[in-house]
Amino acid sequence: MSLEFDHITLAQRVRFGTGKAAENLAAEVERRGSRAVMVIAEIGEADLADRVTARIDVALHHSEVVMHVPAATAEKARAAAQDSGIDLLVSIGGGSTTGLAKAVALTSGLPIVAVPTTYAGSEATNVWGLTEGARKTTGVDDRVLPETVIYDAELTYSLPADLSVASGLNGLAHCVDSLWAPRADPINAALATEGMRTLATGLPQVITDPTAADGRERALYGAYLSAVAFASAGSAMHHKICHVLGGTYDLPHAQTHAIVLPHVLAHNAAAAPEAAGRIAGALGARDAVAGLLRLRDRLGAPKALRDIGLSESDLRGAAELAAAAIPPSNPRPVDVDGVHALLTAAWAGTPPEAAR
Ligand code: NAD
């Protein structure tokens, strides 16, 4: 990595405190002088949202949240915000909920306070996503970057173990992919490395000791670092593949990332020795791929795309769409056949190329 770079740090406040979400949100609303708050939270997370908003006045509750933000869902939320004269958006939930708040902010310029309940990391990026038909579009706009993020590990207690694992590996994927992304630089590599180290210690704790705050705090902190690294470095091979699988084939986001990551790492590792060394070190392993596979096994993470809804007949089409989007920064060249082979292994759940 050369020490000539052009790095942008996104401006954002982070309030981190276990059991303190309600207090921190009230302080934030007061500091901003907000008068009409729209709370976006799924119905399934209404209890969580009630706890978090217990100390503020809420002008509007909006609960129609759909994964990958269909355009029609975004339009409804935008209209609701406008009709109620909203001056602050508060999103309480996973990446889908944050994503809806971002869709509203994109056209209205309204500020967002994000209260994440998964490890997806959308709260720390200026990336928005919308789905129209079967095509997911993403873009970058500083208006969608939440101005404040409130992290509270207690909000993750209700996240089922399998989703915690998949979501945490989604965070790890941000770190790994950012090491060979178009704007990879020493600053985002440092954030990614610490993010991997923190997730690799936190996630096993979440599984073995689910009622302890320690592992959950580490996982949330690691997820934040991973998203900051990803927002700075940009989207690379892994995210391009998962973006197609989620947007066009409607696969669940976090599980898709968890399954595909070892295959992309195995594809690139030998051609990116510095990145592979960082990953191995952060995972406490001698070899990056072996370290990731060991972590995946330890966490009981999903292994096969066929188990989460992808048809074998979709592999070729997915490979064509993904291959066209992989940036030139990728350390090892890859064509449609290469992505097809990778996806075929990920679909069947066979170990990645380099580990066979
Ligand atoms: P999600 O928000 O769709 O949540 C998954 C499921 O978990 C939902 O059913 C939700 O109700 C449930 N859930 C969430 N938190 C919970 C909790 N604490 N307790 C119980 N249940 C809970 O999934 P996600 O993986 O967090 O986010 C995925 C979406 O975020 C995708 O659309 C992805 O594209 C987007 N994303 C965007 C960015 C970005 O930078 N723009 C980054 C990461 C992810």
Q: How far is CA 14 from CA 86, 139, 150, 217, 353, in A?
A: 23, 23, 6, 14, 40
- Spacing, Cα 342 to ligand 1 middle (Å): 25
Q: How many CA atoms lie within 13 A of 192 on its CB side?
A: 30
Nearest CA to ligand 1 atom 39: 122
Using a 6 Å CB cutoff, which residues line ligand 1?
42, 44-45, 67-68, 93-97, 99, 117-118, 120-122, 125, 127, 129, 155-156, 158-159, 163, 167, 170, 246, 253-254
Whole-number Å distance between alpha carbons of 226 and 136: 22
The rounded mean pLDDT for the chain is 96
The confidence score (pLDDT) of residue 135 equals: 80
Atom 5 of ligand 1, residue of closest alpha carbon: 94
The type of residue at 186 is P
Q: How many CA atoms lie within 13 A of 294 on its CB side?
A: 13
Q: Work out whether the CA dihedral 315, 318, 320, 324 comes out positive or negative.
A: negative
The torsion angle over the Cα atoms of residues 57, 130, 153 and 50, rounded to 10 degrees, is 30
Domain 13-156 and domain 161-355 have a common topology? no
For 151, other C-beta atoms within 10 Å of its C-beta total 25
Residue type, 245: L
What pairs with residue 138 in β-bridges? 129
Question: Looking at residues 315-331, what average pLDDT do you find?
Answer: 96
> Which among 52, 64, 67, 251 is the best mutation to test ligand 1's pocket, defined by most ligand atoms within 8 Å of the CB?
67
Residue identifier of the C-alpha nearest atom 32 of ligand 1:
68
> In this predicted model, what pLDDT tens digit does every residue of 56-66 receive, in sequence order?
999 999 999 99
Return the HEC string of 94-137.
CHHHHHHHHHHHHHHCCCEEEEECCCCCHHHCCEEEEEECCEEE
32-55: average pLDDT: 98
CATH class of 161-355: mainly alpha
Angle between the 95-108 and 71-83 helix axes, to the nearest 10 degrees? Answer: 60
Q: Of 61 and 137, which is predicted with more confidence?
A: 61
195: nearest Cα among 209, 207, 208, 178: 178
Q: Hey, what are 286's tokens?
A: 């001698």
pLDDT band at 353 (very low <50, low <70, confident <90, very high): low
Query: Are 116 and 123 a contacting pair, CB within 8 Å?
Result: yes
Residue 68's pLDDT is 87
Q: Choose one of 52, 119, 122 to mutate for the ligand 1 pocket test, by most ligand atoms within 8 angstroms of C-beta.
A: 122
Note whether 334 and 237 are within 8 A (CB).
yes
Dist. CA 67–CA 97, nearest whole Å: 8
Average pLDDT value for residue range 104-128: 97
- Torsion of the alpha carbons at 333, 337, 339 and 340, rounded to the nearest 10: -170
Q: What percent of the chain has pLDDT over 90?
A: 94
Residues of the chain with pLDDT > 70, as a percent, come to 98
- Looking at CATH, the fold of the domain delimited by 13-156 is given as Rossmann fold (3.40.50)
Residue with tokens 């869902």: 73
- Position 67 confidence tier, pLDDT thresholds 50, 70, 90: confident
Q: Contacts for 314-322 with beta carbons within 8 Å, 24 or more apart?
A: 314/249, 315/340, 315/343, 315/344, 315/347, 316/340, 317/248, 318/241, 318/244, 318/245, 318/248, 318/249, 318/343, 319/343, 321/244, 321/248, 322/240, 322/241, 322/243, 322/244, 322/245
Q: Is the Cβ–Cβ distance between 198 and 172 less than 8 Å?
A: no
Q: Name which residue sits closest to atom 19 of ligand 1, judged by CA.
A: 159
- pTM given for the model: 0.95
At residue 355, the pLDDT reads: 57
Cα–Cα distance for residue pair 75/260, rounded to 1 Å: 32
pLDDT digits (tens, 9 = 90+) for 73-88: 999 999 999 999 999 9
What pLDDT is recorded for position 248? 87
Residue 356 has pLDDT above 60, yes or no: no
At 173 the three-state DSSP class reads helix
Task: Spell out the domain ranges in the chain.
Answer: 13-156, 161-355
User: pLDDT class for 134, splitting at 50, 70, 90?
Assistant: confident
pLDDT of residue 354 exceeding 80, the answer is no
